[in-house]
Structure 1
Amino acid sequence: MKKTFYRLAAAVLALACIASPLRALERPITVEDIVKLEAFGRVSVAPDGRWAVYEKRDDYDTIPNYDHVQRAPWTIMDLWRVDLRAADPRPERLLPDEPLGLQRGDWSPDGRRLTVFRFRGDIYELGIVEVATRAVVWTGLTPEIPLKGAPVIWTSNDQLAAAVRPAGDLPLILQHFYEPKKRIAEAWARTSSGRERSRTVIEADKGVVRSEEPAAPQDLVLIEAASGQVRRTLMSAHLTDLVLSPDGRRLAVLASGEAMPLLTPMVQFDEPFRQRLTLIDLETGRSGRLDQVFDVAPQLLRWSPDSRALLAWMRGDDQAWSEGGLVSVDVAGRTRSWPSAVRPGPDIDILRGVRADWLDGAPILYGRAPGEDRADWHAIGVSPSVNLTAGLEAPPAVLMTADRGALTLFADGRQWAVEPGGVRPLGDPDLRLRWARILDPERPRRQGQEAERRAWSPALGSKGETLILAATGEAEVAGPPSGPASMRVVGAGPGAVLALEQKELVETLVLRRGDESRPLDAVNQDRADVVLAPTIPLIHNNAFGQPTQSSLLLPKGPIKGLFVPIYPGYVDDGGWYGPLFLTYNIRSAVMAGLGYAVLSPSIPADLPGTRDHAFYEESIGLAVDAAFAAYPELPRNRTAIFGHSMGGYVGLILATRTDRYQTYILSSSAGDMIGKWGEFDPTSRILTEVAPVSLRNHQGWIETGQGEIGATPWSDPVKLAAESPYLHADRIRNPVMLITADQDFIGTSQSERTFSALARLGVRTRMTTYWGEYHARWSPANIRDQYEQILEWLDETLPPETEGKGAQAGAPRP
């Protein structure tokens, strides 16, 4: 652990140097930089404001192994604590006797204890730390890591409820990446020995898909915080979510019920099992079901402030999600429907999460009323419903705070109180603010869509100051003005804010309170000489004839070509999302550092007409035209299209329609929609217990999800063929490089089919397959190689600047 201490000391000593106006010799970012980045993780302040705890990750390429892909960095994470009441607060390791591999959990209500997790090899374990003494109790329990709900919650200052796995069993999300390789090796070994059978079995009947070896259930247990011992097992089930009532008396438990048949149309992300709700009285241990049978949508379980009722989106077993509605259930299990014409969206949006809360004993819902062209917050406990946010320019999809029935939201540069008749502005009308919403990438989706149950929230002022906004609108200064524009609030508590200040690759964790801004720690200070290419906004009209904004990065020095990463609905605006974001996939900042101008085009999505192939072509072409018009020095005949995932699919469509762009690099690119509809992903082939989920995601992507084709292979094969660029490969003229991986859920067979077609047609093509990798590259060696492959391909397939015809749009091929 000496290395860790030396690094912290070096970080603190370097803080003054980082802030100095004197810069070392500047240089562009390289691939080697991104595989050696350190990073801060999540930051949290105790409810009483005494302690802050933060995660800090070592160099990325020091990870022992990358079997757990995006969660492999957990194995080199450490936890640090800061005493915010100390006169001279300094970070110190929270658990100095523990090796790396630690994550923070949640605080007890009084802020005395913190749940933590240690992840090493095939062990993922729940622990409980008394933060002041740094004493830790390891429970020997493996908590589940659900993506939709909370796995571990405090029921009091001295007790937790947790969904735990069978002994020696990793959480499902960690098994998803690690277990297939292990099981495949074991299966091959059994066949090799000739003494044991080696096969999997999956079957379906009446639309219900079953595995021979279904997933094991979890136990819902109560744990004594002081000892880490299990007090009581409340139930065993496939648990989805746990929510505690505000008074701490009752636990709402969402768990899987009966298996669901595959439906038409298939909805991406739908559950393979009915979701049933149980209410448990923690004082008596008694549990009760609802007075009616409902299927409950995940992502919304909201207790009323008085703990008398729970709000959820429910449907009958014979209904689509869009045919359901808000239903409340009281503590006796009695249900009440809240009918309304306001709708949160189609089935897939409901599964992503209905946004609703309580106001004056009745629900409010974020959605569209008939005749409205945008979503607003509506009070639906009255008839007709009342549009509460009609007067706002941009109503938010998430509420800000919920404290004892008082709701606030942030919109149009200020804070508002939500009241039965509408919204009322709070605070100084001349104070222009930005909501400093703290995002937690590991937090379950349901929690990330709810208002925080507290009476304050952090914000940023127009002069760079950090503020704590009370629910009354009063603003307490928690940090001086003139904070950098790149400052990002990552933790907050009563009277204090922790923020990351970014300067190129260097991030500094800063404590801000009153008129003080105190640096605590830093990462990547040994790369302070790296300069990232600035992002230039590019204003132009989109394919609808409306103003839009693409973005452009220009390298220092000669421009090797124009690199155009495409993805519908996303523009790389240069926002800083932390060092880890730079490491995986192909990033604009890195390509600019390697000498290419990078254009991220605005391609509108999720609107009528935006799935049309001609719309994709026109949207990309308009952005390229705007870049050439604004910067005539760009080489017009050296343009490369890059696409990953949905972007790879659109890129392949583009290649069948125009020869304007000299070369294509397409990663995880689907091309055959009929094949994709019925294909298993590699994980579900060997982990057959997840096959019901895999089938829904693949078929749902085609029918109602991102693909939005709305057809099955037998209902409309002509439509699926029209949406399959693989079947139009004879129209492709220019070189195409394909990148795939054997564990990617977009199967290697998709790239293999396109490669086979282009090879037969005589088109220049290359396919690079990465082994043991998934939808992105995580091994440092593979990250390096992927950039090398791309640079080599660009060198080989982009013509010399004096040749080619790329200045003007090529003739489209319908």
Structure 2
Amino acid sequence: MRRLLCWLVAAILILQCAAVAARPYSLDDLLRHEDTGRMLVDPGGRWLLFEKYESHLAMQRQDRLSLGQILRARPYIVDLHGRGPARPLLDDDQPGTILLGFSPSGKRIAVARLQGGAFRFGIMLLASGAVQWWPYAPVHDGFHPVHSWLTDDRLLILSQRDDRPAAQFALDWPPERPMRERWDRTAAGALAVSISGSGRYLRDDGRSQQQLLMVDAVTGAAQALATGPFAQMQPSPDGKYVALLKADRARQPSADQMVREDDSFHSRHLLLLDVASGAQWEPCSDCSLPGDPRWSDDGAHIGFVADRNGRRETVMANMARHVVMSAGPVRSASLDGCRLSPHQDVPVAARASVTPTDENISFSVPMACTRPPAMPGTIWGAVSWHVGTGGVIVERPTGGVIRVPWQRPEAIVSVQSSDIGKGGAVALRISAASGRSALFLADQGKPRFLMAFNSFMRDVEPAIMRPLVHPSADGSPVTSWLVLPPGAKGAKGLPMVVIPYPGQIYSDVAPADQQVGRERFYTNAQLLAASGFAVLLPSIPMPPVLPDTGFDFSAALAPAIEAAIATGSCDPARLALWGHSYGAYGVAMAAVQSRRFRAVVASAGIYDLAATAGTFGRAMRLSPEEGLNVAASYAWAENGQGRMGVAPWKAPGRYIANSPIYQADRVNVPMLIIGADRDFSPVEQGEQLFSALFRQGKDAQLITYWGEGHVIGSPANLRDFYARVIGFLADNLAVKARAVPVVAAAAPAIPASSARQ
């Protein structure tokens, strides 16, 4: 009991807000931000494991931002039979280890570690804490399982066969080694060449291979059960079979049909393997799977959506009899059977595109499939809560309440829960408006404190977020958001920065990714507000295809801007734009259409829609044998955000009218153009726009960051990035921005602009 009281007191002290002066959110808060990752409970209910995402500053390499959920991950363990706090699972000084899954009894846990250039598989014996690392590189994408335990001593692993990085790592892997090797071969007089083909020259050889391995968890000895270009594995619930998706046949898009961004260069074929006998079976050899298969709960059947001979259909295979049945899609959802998706089992935000017609068609097969297909782990859900005497009162989904100690009525923005095992035990994650949060374990007794996150942010005063309900340019009612500096609730005449992302429609709930408790490295409204700017996040409905005369982005922005000005908080004479990625394209178009803005910042953008379509990108250029996803870049322009509807040669006028580079003579506002050499949005696009302005003697700056991708992430580069953006905006909007406390670096000297003069 005394130990319990000690831990509760510690939790209260950590969560308590001392009487300290509030301060604005800063870039250091962003870089130091901590979070939680996956959470697993062993089958016996004894051990709870979870990943803590350490500060970005703790990453081994700062040029791999997209791998942050691996490089920042540090696993912790909690004894559910004890009362102590969480403790590190491994005795190492660096993060970079993720949790994969428990063995059937919970005796062992599979993990994976990214260290240096190697991604390796490991197994820990929980009783002793001993871990063994094996020379197997799991094919990990964060969404699908890479292993399957057969017994406590045997498991299956989908592993890379050679030293080449897996596809999910290749996009963020530094290119120096393969480039240097090829340059050195040329320097020595040897051959260094890459070959791509189309039509009868189409190639599908030379792709990296993966292996399905059966591994002895004690000795590490492995037996290869299957080898091929496997993209993922799905074990059956009973462990008898494994479904392997092969990406092994090159294909090209139809010249007469619109392509989608998630159309792959390789067809995806299903290979089924009997674990005991090693027998292999392709239930539909002439089918390509646009989505992922689903197993029946008993493992006797597998169902999937298939594309065959130009027709999309559902297929169900009987594993014992090797019998296949198929049927077409239906227009309404069926309550019976197993629902199938024509998309891969990844979150919608991670998918490249969703064709609207896909959502109106349902696919199902007559089998039960309640088991989730994705990787095991925590599923957080919002719960009802209120602040009561002495803490936070959380309503259990199954009835009753949980009282969590939380001293001082600090503003709380969310409470989430996750069912973690038998007996009604749940994990609770409570997040405060300041950005700090805490993790609790609640069973039938009093809540147990596990860990605090971002305690250094306890004195942060976030920006004020105010909804603006207004009609859009097409007349439909929408909600935009006005973000004001901390403590500036009644401020008047603030300079305003508009951050548009065409097609983004906000709800009546404040945008989660613009809160101080989130990790937004680009167009961060909290950092701008902390620097003294008002920030507008406009909802901008977009048509499915842009007009041949060019879409009027400035007119689409106008309703939200007028609604913000009507509050009295913003100065209509001091407006600026900042867009990132597709948002950069949008602000560049607005810059050629309107003179009401005094500064425009465009980062990681595309400014010539036709010139972007078909470009390879760094990873594809270095390894074309891994797949020429040319269709994806064309689809971005045709069917994706570019909204052109057709290929460039079918409507060249439409592409020109909707590309700011061809209207650069109409830009009459200072522009700050930012790019990076590893960005998949070609850095040449920013150079082209800058050169067009340079050719005319217009006010512009081009900033290029080296070793960065689509989002600037290395600390020194990020500080310079925000210092330059804030300094540029302050210079052109004639304000004294508070850049030093927000960015922790003085803004670089910027010549006075002609607009300010």
Normalization by structure 1: what TM-score?
A: 0.78
Structure-2 separation of matches of 1:178 and 1:745:
13
Aligned match of 1:327: 315
Q: Is the aligned partner of 1:520 residue 2:450?
A: yes
**Displacement of 1:667 after TM fit?**
0.9
1:745-774 superposed Cα distances (whole Å, 9 cap, x missing partner): 111111111111122233211111111110
Alignment of 1:631-646 (within 5 A): 632-646=568-582
Q: Is the aligned partner of 1:267 residue 2:260?
A: yes
Aligned match of 2:475: 545
> Per the alignment, in what secondary structure is the counterpart of residue 115 of structure 1?
strand
- Shift of the 351–340 alpha-carbon distance from structure 1 to 2, 3 Å rule, reads closer
Aligned match of 2:742: none
Aligned match of 1:618: 555
Q: Is the aligned partner of 1:700 residue 2:635?
A: yes
Q: Is the aligned partner of 1:789 residue 2:724?
A: yes
* Aligned amino acid, residue 60 of structure 2: P
Deviates more, 1:45-54 or 1:236-245: 45-54
Contact 2:601–2:673, Cα closer than 8 Å, also in 1: yes
Aligned match of 1:285: 278
Q: CA RMSD in A?
A: 3.5
Alignment of 1:744-759 (within 5 A): 744-759=679-694
Deviates more, 1:697-706 or 1:478-487: 478-487
Aligned match of 1:185: 180
Structure-2 separation of matches of 1:11 and 1:186:
56
1:171-190 superposed Cα distances (whole Å, 9 cap, x missing partner): 33223322413222333444
Aligned match of 1:71: 67
* Aligned amino acid, residue 570 of structure 1: Q
Aligned match of 2:297: 305
**Displacement of 1:169 after TM fit?**
4.1
Alignment of 1:370-381 (within 5 A): 375=360
- Shift of the 258–739 alpha-carbon distance from structure 1 to 2, 3 Å rule, reads same
Structure-2 separation of matches of 1:281 and 1:586:
50
- Shift of the 579–684 alpha-carbon distance from structure 1 to 2, 3 Å rule, reads farther
> Per the alignment, in what secondary structure is the counterpart of residue 487 of structure 1?
strand
Deviates more, 1:525-534 or 1:736-745: 525-534
Aligned match of 1:533: 463
> Per the alignment, in what secondary structure is the counterpart of residue 223 of structure 1?
strand
Structure-1 separation of matches of 2:73 and 2:142:
20
Contact 2:265–2:627, Cα closer than 8 Å, also in 1: no
**Displacement of 1:288 after TM fit?**
1.2
Q: Is the aligned partner of 1:602 residue 2:539?
A: yes
Q: Is the aligned partner of 1:506 residue 2:430?
A: no
Among candidates 82, 86, 90, match of residue 78 of structure 2: 82
- Shift of the 139–337 alpha-carbon distance from structure 1 to 2, 3 Å rule, reads same
Aligned match of 1:160: 155
Alignment of 1:250-649 (within 5 A): 250-264=241-255, 265-290=258-283, 293-298=286-291, 300-316=292-308, 318-319=309-310, 323-331=311-319, 332-342=321-331, 350-351=342-343, 375=360, 405=368, 447=374, 460-461=383-384, 463=386, 475=398, 477=400, 479-480=402-403, 484-489=412-417, 492-494=420-422, 495-503=424-432, 504-514=434-444, 516-556=446-486, 561-570=495-504, 573-575=510-512, 581-582=518-519, 584-605=521-542, 614=551, 616-630=553-567, 632-649=568-585
Aligned match of 2:337: none
> Per the alignment, in what secondary structure is the counterpart of residue 678 of structure 1?
coil
Structure-2 separation of matches of 1:517 and 1:578:
27
**Displacement of 1:624 after TM fit?**
1.1
Contact 1:501–1:509, Cα closer than 8 Å, also in 2: yes
Q: Is the aligned partner of 1:686 residue 2:622?
A: yes
Aligned match of 1:52: 48
Contact 2:480–2:539, Cα closer than 8 Å, also in 1: yes
**Displacement of 1:654 after TM fit?**
1.3
Structure-2 separation of matches of 1:97 and 1:36:
20
Deviates more, 1:759-768 or 1:333-342: 333-342
Structure-2 separation of matches of 1:607 and 1:713:
16
Aligned match of 2:590: 654
1:685-715 superposed Cα distances (whole Å, 9 cap, x missing partner): 223334512x222112112222231222322
> Per the alignment, in what secondary structure is the counterpart of residue 797 of structure 1?
helix
**Displacement of 1:377 after TM fit?**
6.8
Contact 1:68–1:174, Cα closer than 8 Å, also in 2: no
- Shift of the 482–691 alpha-carbon distance from structure 1 to 2, 3 Å rule, reads same
> Per the alignment, in what secondary structure is the counterpart of residue 155 of structure 2?
strand
**Displacement of 1:515 after TM fit?**
5.3
Aligned match of 2:336: none
Q: Is the aligned partner of 1:228 residue 2:162?
A: no
Aligned match of 2:656: 721
> Per the alignment, in what secondary structure is the counterpart of residue 635 of structure 1?
strand
Q: Which runs of 5+ in 2 are unaligned?
A: 1-5, 334-340, 348-353, 387-391, 407-411, 737-757
Size of the alignment, in residue pairs?
Answer: 696
Structure-2 separation of matches of 1:377 and 1:462:
36
Aligned match of 2:351: none
- Shift of the 106–544 alpha-carbon distance from structure 1 to 2, 3 Å rule, reads farther
* Aligned amino acid, residue 417 of structure 2: V
Contact 2:31–2:715, Cα closer than 8 Å, also in 1: yes
* Aligned amino acid, residue 80 of structure 1: Y
> Per the alignment, in what secondary structure is the counterpart of residue 296 of structure 1?
coil
Aligned match of 1:32: 28
Aligned match of 2:86: 91
* Aligned amino acid, residue 588 of structure 2: L
**Displacement of 1:593 after TM fit?**
1.3
Q: Is the aligned partner of 1:666 residue 2:655?
A: no
Structure-1 separation of matches of 2:373 and 2:702:
39
* Aligned amino acid, residue 500 of structure 1: R
**Displacement of 1:407 after TM fit?**
5.9
Contact 2:48–2:77, Cα closer than 8 Å, also in 1: yes
* Aligned amino acid, residue 253 of structure 1: L
**Displacement of 1:792 after TM fit?**
1.7
> Per the alignment, in what secondary structure is the counterpart of residue 582 of structure 1?
coil
Among candidates 114, 123, 140, match of residue 118 of structure 2: 123
Structure-2 separation of matches of 1:500 and 1:774:
32
1:395-436 superposed Cα distances (whole Å, 9 cap, x missing partner): xxxxxxxxx94869xxxxxxxxxxxxxxxxxxxxxxxxxxxx
Structure-1 separation of matches of 2:185 and 2:534:
52
> Per the alignment, in what secondary structure is the counterpart of residue 480 of structure 2?
strand
Contact 2:59–2:95, Cα closer than 8 Å, also in 1: no
Aligned match of 1:411: none
Contact 2:170–2:619, Cα closer than 8 Å, also in 1: no
**Displacement of 1:665 after TM fit?**
0.6
**Displacement of 1:219 after TM fit?**
0.8
**Displacement of 1:243 after TM fit?**
1.4
Structure-1 separation of matches of 2:548 and 2:361:
26
Normalization by structure 2: what TM-score?
A: 0.83
Structure-1 separation of matches of 2:377 and 2:96:
30
* Aligned amino acid, residue 106 of structure 2: G
**Displacement of 1:549 after TM fit?**
1.2
- Shift of the 50–571 alpha-carbon distance from structure 1 to 2, 3 Å rule, reads farther
Deviates more, 1:139-148 or 1:530-539: 139-148
> Per the alignment, in what secondary structure is the counterpart of residue 566 of structure 1?
coil
- Shift of the 489–539 alpha-carbon distance from structure 1 to 2, 3 Å rule, reads same
**Displacement of 1:378 after TM fit?**
7.9
Q: Which runs of 5+ in 1 are unaligned?
A: 1-9, 356-365, 382-403, 409-444, 470-474, 802-814
Structure-2 separation of matches of 1:560 and 1:457:
38
Deviates more, 1:578-587 or 1:742-751: 578-587
Alignment of 1:767-806 (within 5 A): 767-799=702-734
Structure-2 separation of matches of 1:739 and 1:688:
28
